Amino acid sequence: MGMVVNSFQSRENNLMEKIHLSFSPALSIYNQAVLERSKPIQLFNNLEIDENGKVNILFKLEGELTGHIICSFSIEDKVITQDELFHYQSIFTESMNILLGKFLTQLEEETGLMSLISSPRLLTNNKFITEIDSFLHAIKLKTEYQLLTMQNSFDCTIYINANNKNSSKV
């Protein structure tokens, strides 16, 4: 029994390491913005995402990893107009799309786990976030990045809530 538990823990740790390795440490986004990792992959228990001062984007995760990825972008303490907010939101959304696409492509090379993301959806209230938090997900990992543009920098957090349908691959 001890050996089965250790084997499970070892596979989960291995997957976490592969997930960390599959996230690019830095990315240039069409020479107009840069994403830089500010914190490595960590476990989390609950999605404590405040809707105040945050823009939250949802991607569905489908394939051998299934679940949701929530990308949260902080505009707290930023003095920006509504037009600027739409502009930065668009840069953030596409940056996350690119980061996650490269992540899943690299993850498949590392682990053989094949997964895709949906097109992004803007979350306008926390109700859906609360719902996702209530699902049973074996994988609850987060990482943090800084999105740097010419004029501003923003803290971004990526929350992965997923289950691995093919745990024998890792």
Partner 1 sequence: MEVVDNYRILIVDDSDFSRSSISAMLDDPRYNIIGEASGAKEAINILVDRKAHIAIIDIVMPEISGIELAEKIKESFSNTQIIMISSLSQENIVIDAISVGASDFLQKPFNKETLINSIEKVISNIEEA
Rounded-to-5 percentages of helix, strand, coil across the chain: 35, 40, 25
Looking at the Cβ atoms of 47 and 104, the one nearer to partner 1 is: 104
Secondary structure of residue 34 in the 3-state scheme: strand
Is 148 one of the binding residues for partner 1 (CB under 8 A)? Answer: no
Q: How far is the CB of 99 from partner 1 (least distance, A)?
A: 8
Is 102 one of the binding residues for partner 1 (CB under 8 A)? Answer: yes
- Please check whether residue 145 is in contact with residue 159, taking contact to mean a CB–CB distance below 8 angstroms: no
Retrieve residue 39's tokens: 């914190």
> What is the four-CA torsion angle of 92, 59, 74, 128, rounded to 10 degrees?
150
Query: What DSSP assignment string belongs to 66-79?
Result: EEEEEEEEE-TT--
Retrieve residue 134's tokens: 């209530």
Q: How far is the CB of 91 from partner 1 (least distance, A)?
A: 5
Residues 59-88, one symbol each (x = binds partner 1 by CB under 8 A, - = not), give ----------------------------x-
Looking at the Cβ atoms of 96 and 129, the one nearer to partner 1 is: 96
Using CB under 8 A, pick the residue from 90, 130, 134, 153 that binds partner 1: 90
Which listed range, 7-15, 45-53, 68-76, 95-103, lies at the site for partner 1 (CB under 8 A)?
95-103
